[in-house]
Chains A and B, each alone.
Chain A
């Protein structure tokens, strides 16, 4: 199952040229771009690992792309996303975030039912991949 998260999530994966253009847009706006990765794609997992620090002093997309490619090389089978952080006073939050790398095979999510008091049922989802320990998931 293809995981969809963030901006552009219902489009096909962006090509490198398209990613570079998005980065260019972020840099023109003065946002700091950062790269993050994870092997736990649960939608509620908002804390992905940072790949290096956010890039506050980069002027050109080519600089960010070297970092993106370095991350892909280190984690070829992880989810990788790109965040753009707006440091304007009063905003100070992410403006754009989208997935730029994913594992070759995505096993998807299973539904877990929990029996509660009075025959009530609680539902939750669980990524099949997370049944295995960290680092061996994909």
Chain B
């Protein structure tokens, strides 16, 4: 934990490092921050999401360069790192937000690196005077870490002009502007509704430096995600089951209410149920370890997606 930063940034204590002549060791700074490991695990554990990853890499680079600049006495205020994640359901917004907290912590941008995930209910009160203390309470908790507001567009309800959401937004804006080095705010939500939200709250939009769009997954990526999930749950797919899953994903994508990785997770959970009852049917016979960990073609083909 050598990346800790004092609660109050101090000007002294920064030794005057080589000015001009000697080149700075970016490689060493990169190694010391251990950000490489985080980016690698990001690559390994998150499938697809190319624009998201490249943006995270940009931010990591910026923060590292910023550190070096500070070391030679080039002053630059802390960059604003508030973000908005937009994308369809199940595209990994929450997962990435969790990672973001860790990355920013590794880079020494946030001091504690915890994530406080909230929705409208946690910020907006039910009667006059209830909202401000509630919002402040959440902000206090998130200090030193990342505040993740899921489905942020619910904060603003244009149909009710006396809605208290506006009050929460104002307090948020104030803290986002004045205490930039104390916390990072990440707003997340579906793309079209977030756009409406930003259009009606231009102050919010302009205070967010990074608008990151999460693309839908391709069928290949969904399959890779499914394999990754199964690996984490210690299951395997038999070869025909793998083929069946590929067909399943293609069919399911075309249906309404498709929620990307979340739909895949649900499908796998149901397949596990079917596998369990299939094995349960033939109780009495010995069950091998291999049978316990393998999902068969039938477990997947039994889905109602194939019937429709």
Contact = CB atoms under 8 A, between A and B. Distances in A.
Report, as a range, how many residues of chain A touch the other chain.
10 to 19
Interface residues of B, number: 18
B136 A59 contact: no
- Chain A: interface secondary structure? helix
Interface string A47-75: 00000000101111111101100000000
B7 A63 contact: no
Nearest to B116: A59
Interface string A1-43: 0000000000000001100110110000000000000000000
A60 B8 contact: no
A24 B7 contact: yes
Nearest to A24: B7
Contacts of B82: none
B303 interface: no
A17 B7 CA distance: 7
- Chain B: interface secondary structure? loop
A62 B179 contact: yes
Contacts of A21: 6-7
A59 B7 contact: no
A23 B7 CA distance: 10
A58 B8 contact: no
A55 B179 CA distance: 20
Contact of A62 (B7, B10, B136): B7
A59 B144 contact: yes
B114 A59 contact: yes
Nearest to B142: A63
Contacts of A55: 140
B182 interface: yes
A16 B141 CA distance: 19
A69 B13 CA distance: 27
Contacts of A60: 7, 111-112, 143-145, 182
B141 A59 contact: yes
A62 B145 contact: no
Contacts of A59: 112, 114, 141, 143-145
A131 to B, nearest CB: 35
A63 B8 contact: no
Contacts of A61: 7, 143-144
Contacts of B183: 62
B117 to A, nearest CB: 14
B75 to A, nearest CB: 19
